[in-house]
Chain A
Amino acid sequence: MDLALLGKSILALGAMGALFGGLLAVAARQFHVEVDPRVEAVAAALPGANCGACGQPSCFAVAEAMVEGTTEPDACVAGGKACAEAVADILGKDVGDVKETVVARHCGGGVHATARYDYEGLRSCVSVSRLSGGPILCPAGCFGLGDCALACPFDALAMGEHGLPVVDLEKCTGCESCVCACPRGRAGLLGMVHAEAPVVVRCNSHDKAKAKRSYCEVSCIACRKCEKECPEEAIKVVDFVAVVDYELCTGCGTCVEVCPQDCIESFGRDPS
């Protein structure tokens, strides 16, 4: 081995590295641009996940927009109430009532849903959705391969034991990243409900009861028991599936008890 050549290489690269490092250090000081300190403070108050739910490309970009006043302090969907208050505090503005939302899965199928075929391949809901309409017979159910859990920037979704994603309500911020990632998300499989929604219907298939019974043991069969028993008339069967009106729902839990298919479940954060 030619030690002289090795020495020269180290010398050349080392000297160049030191030279450029020094130049950049000087330049960083010389060309330093004062950034509005409020932008940095606001950016620090935001969650910093760059989830994009606000419509801006990054948390820093929305922080700039908030300071400029082109965006309201409560623009951060993921940060929710605490974040909006912190931002408003920095900017000396008021925020109104901020409603926090969380994601709810409108499917209870998982292991109870009848498979269309055995799937062996890429563990991705998007890719399996392209294969003969999905691996389950239900046209609206969850495939259970966890694209939503992968997409969640806040680690709020995990695949549960029944082959369905389970949301951690304390971590979910309502940024809708999972809804975008899920091939059936916008079709109604995943929905945004307010964080204290007391119940959620675990079915969103609009097929007739007979068809639904044939492919899923826990589907809503549109029997209207919940509708009849609800003291507040907050739950209605629309297009063969129960829908909750959260404006009227008091969270008494009657529908959860009477549902013969067990497809209505308690949900939501504890209001206290």
Chain B
Amino acid sequence: MSTGVYFALLFVGAALVNNILLTRFIGLCPFFGVSNNFQTSVGMSLAVAFVMTMATAATWFFWNFVLVPLGVGEFLYIPAFILVIASLVQFVEMFLRKYVPGLYRSMGIYLPLITTNCAVLATATEAVNPGFFKINLPYAFGFGEAIVYTLGVSAGFALALLTFSALRERLELAPVPRSFKGNPIAFITAGLLSLGYIGMAGWFGL
């Protein structure tokens, strides 16, 4: 398999086949929390992609150059990664506030929300421990693979969130029975959407 095809498959696998929201059900709080408005979902998706990529890059370095050499990674990765991600988000927030106030204003309310988002932590964990939540592969991602994998996950996150919020905006106008209005119909929609995504399981043997 050529490198290009390998990376493309890695991306598609992370984005579609193992979609973090609708196939693996990680990070569902923003999925329901911000999806009633399309514009908000766009902001959230961008912020998640941004933070996820930065977080994985940082945790990959700490994993490979601090935790693994010391032999403490196996049991210390959660507090260590939380520490890295939280400080990183805080740092990025301060940086943006000073130098890119426009971006800070549009992203400002989402950044602190993402700090402890489980999707970010899960992606960071999986980038150093591929298949961590299914089967522990005796294999580690290189830096490039980790980044492509993260981009795939965030693309999948964005795709799922945007489809779902578009559906919810349409549902606002639909004649939904009174007892199903609001969250119940949102849960049903999410279930159907998830069925669609699960239909992609096993593509390319991913």
Contacts and interface: CB of A to CB of B under 8 A. Distances in A.
Interface in B92-111: 94-95, 97-99
B29 interface: no
Interface string B66-108: 1100111001100110011001001100110111000000000
A11 B80 CA distance: 12
B198 to A, nearest CB: 36
- Interface of B, secondary structure class, is helix
A24 B94 CA distance: 9
A13 B79 CA distance: 8
Contacts of A13: 76, 79-80, 83
Given A24-B91, A31-B98, A8 B72 contact: yes
The contact size tier of chain A is: 10 to 19
Nearest to B97: A33
A117 interface: no
B95 A11 contact: no
Interface in A1-60: 5, 8-9, 11-13, 15-17, 20-21, 23-24, 27-28, 30-33
B97 A16 contact: no
A28 B94 contact: yes
Nearest to B88: A20
B7 interface: no
A118 to B, nearest CB: 28
A16 B62 contact: yes
Given A13-B80, A20-B83, A27 B91 contact: yes
Given A23-B87, A27-B91, A33 B98 contact: yes
Contacts of B70: 8-9, 11-12
A8 B98 contact: no
B95 A27 contact: yes
A7 to B, nearest CB: 10
B72 A9 contact: yes
A23 B83 CA distance: 13
Given A9-B70, A16-B62, A16-B66, 9 more contacts: A5-B72, A9-B75, A12-B67, A16-B83, A24-B94, A27-B94, A31-B95, A31-B97, A33-B98
